[in-house]
Structure 1
């Protein structure tokens, strides 16, 4: 059976589902949370906003490197355990703005943190030989009746993050 990993991205972590089959014949091989950075470190750009420019750049680079290492290790382990080939990442598309632009606006700080973790997972997936696909959350319907029915088959947990990650994985297969 072909399998894909679906990730629903948050600040410093992602809901992760390894799925096979389809909405009509759902299979879930694994459900877990992948923590990339702990509570102290995960708000990368919030922390950078309190630093001078040079220290902010170093802080962001260091946090990104740590997050990438964690994401790469997690995806490597999933690939070997489940022989996955695809990684569907539920996140908004878009290019990361320059650091000065990000730090000039609190809403941009929040947006940039989502972009950072999205980009880290894309890079980690690619480095592990997985095809990475960014799936905009607006393209997924977490209340689709077929998805709700799939949840009755695969069981709990079946919260919004798990549903979106699973749906993205199934649609990528």
Structure 2
């Protein structure tokens, strides 16, 4: 079963179902990614009187420090296979960190009697279809990809 923001595995199906049936106050989760971190905010109250209920900074980098924050810049000097492996490792770490942060803020909202019923994610304009070789060949594209 999918939970908030379409992320599978943030919560068990029973945790999500319990929260969905809860008569708690409805809220929305907003996310904005930055290089190595994301801003998370839970808002309730609607357009006329929005109320920020929770605000968190989610670190998306490798907590062990094995993969550095500006991974595309770091990958620019590597052989293609090594660069691809580094970028994939950073993406994996970021996805794991994001899932943990999203799950944490949704659970925290539920503990406060708030049910996250929708999610918005602000994304940049960078196209995911750009080949890695093109990204690594351009300093500007490497920054945009991060």
Same fold? TM cut 0.5: yes
CA RMSD after TM alignment: 1.8
SS of the residue aligned with 1:55? Answer: helix
User: Alpha-carbon deviation of 1:26?
Assistant: 1.6
8 Å contact 1:46–1:109 — kept in the other structure?
A: yes
Q: Distance in 1 between matches of 2:105 and 2:37?
A: 16
Residue aligning to 1:72: 99
Residue aligning to 1:3: 27
Question: Structure 2 length normalisation: TM-score?
Answer: 0.70
Q: Distance in 1 between matches of 2:117 and 2:106?
A: 7
Residue aligning to 2:141: 108
Question: Is there any run of 5+ residues in structure 2 with no aligned partner, and where?
Answer: 1-24, 110-114
Q: Distance in 1 between matches of 2:125 and 2:139?
A: 19
Question: Structure 1 length normalisation: TM-score?
Answer: 0.60
Residue aligning to 1:28: 52
SS of the residue aligned with 1:45? Answer: helix
User: Alpha-carbon deviation of 1:95?
Assistant: 2.8
Moved over 6 A (4+): none
Deviations 1:76-129 (A, max 9, x none): 11222223132212222453111001111111111111xxxxxxxxxxxxxxxx
The structure number with the bigger radius of gyration is 2
Q: Distance in 2 between matches of 1:109 and 1:102?
A: 5
8 Å contact 2:126–2:144 — kept in the other structure?
A: no
User: Alpha-carbon deviation of 1:56?
Assistant: 0.3
Deviations 1:117-145 (A, max 9, x none): xxxxxxxxxxxxxxxxxxxxxxxxxxxxx
Larger relative contact order (C-alpha < 8 A, sep ≥ 6)? Answer: 1
8 Å contact 1:19–1:26 — kept in the other structure?
A: yes
State whether structure 2 residue 41 is matched by structure 1 residue 17.
yes
Length, aligned pairs only: 113
Residue aligning to 2:123: 91
Question: Is there any run of 5+ residues in structure 1 with no aligned partner, and where?
Answer: 114-173
